[in-house]
Chain A
């Protein structure tokens, strides 16, 4: 079975088979990242534009490396250096870029739905590198790949996701992906950060207490708390947040013995994650980053029409 989508915008749109295909391909391609010469000619002659309207180090670098390891030509455009500052519309920017005949536009944008908007207007492939509080599919896929490598499956895993669910595109992609794959997702966070109807978004359970979510979990996924939101109305203080929703060794002790700790990064040490937890043996945070490259290679490969790899 090939991959039939021109774009990858949301894990909500992907079936179990399609997600499995992307993860299988990522697994196969990850071998390239271990080689001495980390390059294959698979996407030679293809042009990838990384169009980033929001600051990003990890995701942008990861997509760039993924493209280069597949021999595609990758160009980075960030909002601060592009004509965006001159007030050009997204549609005009897209058309100008399109005139240069890229094969794939990888975009990050602060507005939810910007990719759906873009994909309707361009003939090349669009890959979502994060849109507003909507989705972040490459992060969802790399999270699932990391879990699958550790546990050999996703079906039946108990995954706790802790933190600001309302503003998290990572949470949404994880929820869609994981519930499609048969995992059980438990959420916990301050009620001010738990959006209406979230329990209907896939089959998830909302817990009042972080401990309830972490109890016997296979995976504890900690979300980044946005320090810049603290001054607003959602939280009394980082200190209090950390006390009720931070992961420390004691709370982690409630999870299964072989549970892993994950975080999309960048982490706020001492806020959502105690340093001792971030750096402990159970932490899979750097494995996530490593898998990010393989997953993004798989995404680029399949939107270019790549066949399943053995």
Chain B
């Protein structure tokens, strides 16, 4: 597909560009960046003056629930939600039913995405067979099938020896390992952050130490094995500190956090609000601040949503019974832009966090507008004001704590391989 995006402020940290430029895409590939570009007759054009043009945003942590849990989401609806949120690529976690621990399931997702998805869908396979934490999954074959990482997301790999071997083995074949870091014994039957609010509500708490201890283990294993590790959805002061220290001594540890962890505290649980129930749980104000500081100083490498659609029957229940997780694809960009508005991040950092770095971590040939790169582009109107409404969310599920929130900024064009797949 051909497309000319004219006069926008192009921000592409991968080549140090922050300038008003035209972007010309031909046959789905970036052909030229420059001023006053002319396109062949009949090339569709977008007037991006006053708008921001970035490499297509990448959400490296989503749950598309397909196969097996399509009543929550499927590849088509999940990809529409991604497109509406400005994401041109998503990496989907393997805790489907069956789990993605074989070439067959990975191929199913890739093939279905080819025919039904608006955006690029990159599957993440399991670290262990069946996601059971007992023996290594066939990572080599998963990679061959198109998986861009491995993770037992939703659960930690409890056995430290197995995790060590996973890191070593994955390094050998060159696939990213993404750790859901949690000490399950410490989590116990906890359903929210352990703190004053859990005491008041009489809900069993999850201590921050449950996350910190597990993050520290992964960092030490990565250091020992000389292998990279990526920590999913960090949420605590301690996790940020541990990763900051690890990076300083050269450990190849990277991590992501989600918009809810830098936006909400456990106060949001009051009223037993099940849309504020997720794992890790919403934490304290100090943790929120640590997420912002970590994003700003480079400790945190990526913003990922952990988009976790659930049916109303799974959320409209007593708090203890409600499932963990919230949808996030359509609210991630404005919540992240808020950090720019607050002066905590600049736009270049934002684009790195939401596109360039996740591409690097997963080894995707994306997250850049270099000539010859895939023509995935997000055009953002940072000033556009809108309100989050359940009926207008593209996701099949509406389990968001941000319903009713007034947002500022959103993607106005989402472009995949030169084709506009979403227009606000």
Contacts and interface: CB of A to CB of B under 8 A. Distances in A.
A270 interface: no
Contacts, number: 64
A109 B200 CA distance: 17
Contact of A200 (B196, B313, B318, B319): B196
Interface in A102-136: 109, 111-114, 116-117, 131-135
Interface in B184-242: 194-196, 198-205
Nearest to B193: A196
Given A116-B271, A117-B272, A195 B320 contact: no
A50 to B, nearest CB: 19
A40 interface: no
B383 interface: no
B58 to A, nearest CB: 37
A169 interface: yes
B385 interface: no
A255 B148 CA distance: 68
Given A169-B202, A196-B205, A109 B318 contact: yes
Contact of B201 (A113, A196, A198): A113
Contact of A112 (B196, B313, B319): B319
A196 B199 contact: yes
A111 B196 contact: no
Contacts of B200: 12, 172, 197, 201
Contacts of A166: 199
B45 interface: no
Given A117-B272, A196-B194, A196-B205, A112 B320 contact: yes
B187 to A, nearest CB: 13
B135 to A, nearest CB: 30
B321 A198 contact: no
A133 B202 contact: yes
Given A89-B317, A91-B317, A117-B318, A112 B195 contact: no
A114 B318 contact: yes
A201 B202 CA distance: 12
Interface residues of B, number: 20
Contact of A113 (B199, B316, B318): B318
Contact of B318 (A12, A90, A196): A90
Contacts of B198: 195-196
A89 B321 CA distance: 10
B213 to A, nearest CB: 16
A122 to B, nearest CB: 14
A163 B316 CA distance: 34
A196 B319 contact: no
Nearest to B271: A116
Contact of B272 (A112, A195, A198): A112
B81 to A, nearest CB: 27
Given A112-B272, A113-B272, A116-B271, A195 B319 contact: no
Given A111-B318, A111-B320, A112-B272, A132 B202 contact: yes
Nearest to A194: B199
A113 B317 CA distance: 10
B277 to A, nearest CB: 11
A90 B313 CA distance: 11
B199 A112 contact: no
Contacts of A117: 272, 317-319
Contacts of B271: 116
A117 B203 CA distance: 14
A197 B202 contact: no
Interface in A84-100: 89-91
Interface in B315-336: 316-321
A112 B201 contact: yes
A226 to B, nearest CB: 14
19 contacts: A12-B200, A89-B317, A90-B318, A112-B202, A113-B202, A113-B319, A117-B317, A132-B203, A132-B320, A134-B202, A135-B202, A169-B202, A195-B198, A196-B198, A197-B195, A197-B199, A198-B199, A200-B196, A201-B200
* 4 closest A-B pairs by CB: A134-B202, A113-B272, A197-B196, A133-B202
Given A89-B313, A113-B202, A117-B272, 16 more contacts: A12-B200, A89-B317, A90-B317, A111-B319, A111-B320, A112-B202, A112-B320, A113-B319, A116-B272, A132-B203, A166-B199, A172-B200, A195-B199, A196-B199, A197-B195, A200-B196
